[in-house]
């Protein structure tokens, strides 16, 4: 009897639990439509309106749950908060200023060093022993200045002999010319046979050839003598190597080295981003580490980039008449590449987007628009940038709190001040 009672009570509890489950609700997370409430029978069946739920609803025993579908239950909490707050909160306030494009001089700063235009060795054109060295290291020389004199040896005697040979040849030419003229007169009077003309003509031609040969021998002897004096072919400063008196110089061996410092060169590298603006003849200003500032012009632009730096070597020629600028001094050059329309902005308005691209945030028709820019020059007055429209409303305050495409309440400070002044 007691067992029957227990089974009866359990069956009654089961009936009551089933009735509650069929009509009750289950709260899942407290989010979503109806604060996350769902009929328990739908949880059991795995769908909102299953066959059992339909039969219970037709029988009038299934509880009804009205939910709002205004918010997608699949959205995250942050997305739902943003959706609900966007409809109920005011637009983000920002301040803007209008900036217009201005002509800007494009200057490119280059780092490099000075370099002598040439280093020329004054070589011996003939072999000999150095008799006299006429210059010292560091001495400035001009074109044609005597640097070294070699021992003349028998070269002077060879010149004297060549002069004697030339005099003898000239005497023979005079005699041959006289004989030819005499024969011509005799033939004209009929006192000499006509066939004698050829004989005297050959003799005259031979005498002329002897004179030419003797003159060439004299020129060669004189040139060999002149080669004993080694002279400067370029103007500059004498540097090592410099021979000493008594040394034996072979043909082609340098007597002295002359460094040409006027004009002097500045050697630097143009970055590949600016090589399109570079051209010969551009004006430049060279500032050396020793405090000298001189003008110059671009005279050479390499057609091949340096494999390590991806920059292009250039040379700027600088006048250096007094030799004040030395070879190998560190220097910087400012090259004027031309003019361009750019905007002068305060550095504080520059920002980065999510991809790390540098730009500024502008306002177009009440909407934020991110515009990438390129810095052309950084000055004390501000940053010159390229890439903006001729006139742009740039966000100056509040750009950190807005994103691209967001609607904002923009206040143009300059325009507001202008309207207040007019009123």
Do the Cβ atoms of 416 and 422 come closer than 8 Å? no
- The residue among 318, 297, 287 whose CA lies nearest residue 112 is 287
**pLDDT confidence band for 419 (50 / 70 / 90):** very low
pLDDT in tens, 361-377: 999 999 999 999 988 88
- Which two structure tokens, joined as six digits, stand for 26? 């289950």
- DSSP character for 70? S
pLDDT of residue 193: 82
Sign of CA dihedral 382, 383, 389, 392: negative
pLDDT of residue 155: 86
Compute the CA torsion angle 15, 18, 23, 26 (nearest 10 deg). Answer: 140
Dmax (CA) of the chain: 191
pLDDT in tens, 212-265: 999 999 999 898 888 889 999 888 899 888 888 888 988 889 999 999 888 899
pLDDT of residue 240: 85
| Pairing between β-strand 102-123 and β-strand 374-378 as defined by DSSP bridges | unpaired
pLDDT of residue 346: 93
Backbone angles phi, psi at 227, to 5 degrees: -70, -15
pLDDT in tens, 167-226: 999 999 999 899 888 888 888 888 888 888 888 888 889 999 999 999 999 999 898 888
DSSP calls for 144-188: T-EEEEE--TTHHHHHHHHHHHHHHHHHHHHHHHHHHHHHHHHHH
Tell me the C-alpha distance between 116 and 237, whole Å. Answer: 10
Tell me the C-alpha distance between 265 and 319, whole Å. Answer: 9
Tell me the C-alpha distance between 153 and 287, whole Å. Answer: 52
Q: Which residue has the higher pLDDT, 193 or 280?
A: 280
Sequence-ordered list of residues with C-beta below 8 angstroms from that of 345, at least 6 positions apart, any chain: 99, 360, 382, 383, 384, 385, 394
Q: 3-class SS at 77?
A: helix
**pLDDT confidence band for 412 (50 / 70 / 90):** confident
Instruction: Please state, rounded to an integer, the average pLDDT across all residues of the chain.
Output: 82
pLDDT of residue 284: 93
**pLDDT confidence band for 76 (50 / 70 / 90):** low
pLDDT in tens, 311-349: 999 999 999 888 889 899 999 999 887 788 899 999 999
- Which two structure tokens, joined as six digits, stand for 339? 């003019």
pLDDT of residue 148: 93
Distances (CA, A) of 90 to 75, 77, 85, 407, 408: 23, 20, 9, 10, 9
For the cut 70, the answer to whether the pLDDT of residue 100 exceeds it is: yes
Instruction: Domains for the chain: give ranges and CATH numbers.
Output: 1-89 (no CATH), 92-104+341-422 (2.40.420.20), 152-227 (1.10.287)
Tell me the C-alpha distance between 265 and 112, whole Å. Answer: 10
5: number of Cβ within 10 Å: 9
112: number of Cβ within 10 Å: 20
Q: Which residue has the higher pLDDT, 19 or 106?
A: 106
pLDDT of residue 265: 94
């Amino acid at each position: 009897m007691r067992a029957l009672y227990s089974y009866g009570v359990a069956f009654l509890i089961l009936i009551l639990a089933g009735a509650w489950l069929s009509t009750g609700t289950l709260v899942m997370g407290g989010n979503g439509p109806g604060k996350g409430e769902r009929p328990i029978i739908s949880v059991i069946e795995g769908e909102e309106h299953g066959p059992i739920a339909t039969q219970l609803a037709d029988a009038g025993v299934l509880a009804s749950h009205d939910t709002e579908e205004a918010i997608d239950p699949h959205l995250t909490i942050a997305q739902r908060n943003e959706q609900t707050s966007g409809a109920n909160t005011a637009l983000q306030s920002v301040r803007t200023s209008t900036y217009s494009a201005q002509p800007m001089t494009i200057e490119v700063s280059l780092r490099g060093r000075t370099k002598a235009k040439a280093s020329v060795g004054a070589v011996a054109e003939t072999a000999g022993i150095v008799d006299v060295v006429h210059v010292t290291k560091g001495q400035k020389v001009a074109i044609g200045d005597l640097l070294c004199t070699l021992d003349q040896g028998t070269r002077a005697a060879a010149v004297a002999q060549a002069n004697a040979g030339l005099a003898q040849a000239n005497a023979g030419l005079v005699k041959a010319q006289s004989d030819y003229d005499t024969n011509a007169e005799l033939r004209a009077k009929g006192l000499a046979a006509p066939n004698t003309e050829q004989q005297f003509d050959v003799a005259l031609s031979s005498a002329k050839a002897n004179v030419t040969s003797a003159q060439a021998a004299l020129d060669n002897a004189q040139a060999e003598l002149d080669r004993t004096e080694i002279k400067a072919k370029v103007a500059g400063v004498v540097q090592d190597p410099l021979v000493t008196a008594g040394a034996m110089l072979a043909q082609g061996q340098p007597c002295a080295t002359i460094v040409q410092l006027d004009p002097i060169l500045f050697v630097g590298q143009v970055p590949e981003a600016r090589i399109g603006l570079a051209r010969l003849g551009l004006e430049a200003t060279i500032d050396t580490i020793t405090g000298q500032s001189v003008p110059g012009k671009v005279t050479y632009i390499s057609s091949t980039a340096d494999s390590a730096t991806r920059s292009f070597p250039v040379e700027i020629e600088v006048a250096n008449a007094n030799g004040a600028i030395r070879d190998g001094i560190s220097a910087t050059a400012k090259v004027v590449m031309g003019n361009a329309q750019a905007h002068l902005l305060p550095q504080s308005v520059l920002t980065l987007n999510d991809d790390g691209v540098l730009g500024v945030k502008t306002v177009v028709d009440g909407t934020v628009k991110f515009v990438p820019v390129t810095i052309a020059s950084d000055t004390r007055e501000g940053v010159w940038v390229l890439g903006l429209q001729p006139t742009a409303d740039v966000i100056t305050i509040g750009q950190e709190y807005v994103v691209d495409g967001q609607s904002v309440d923009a206040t143009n400070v300059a325009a507001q001040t202008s309207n207040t002044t007019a009123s």
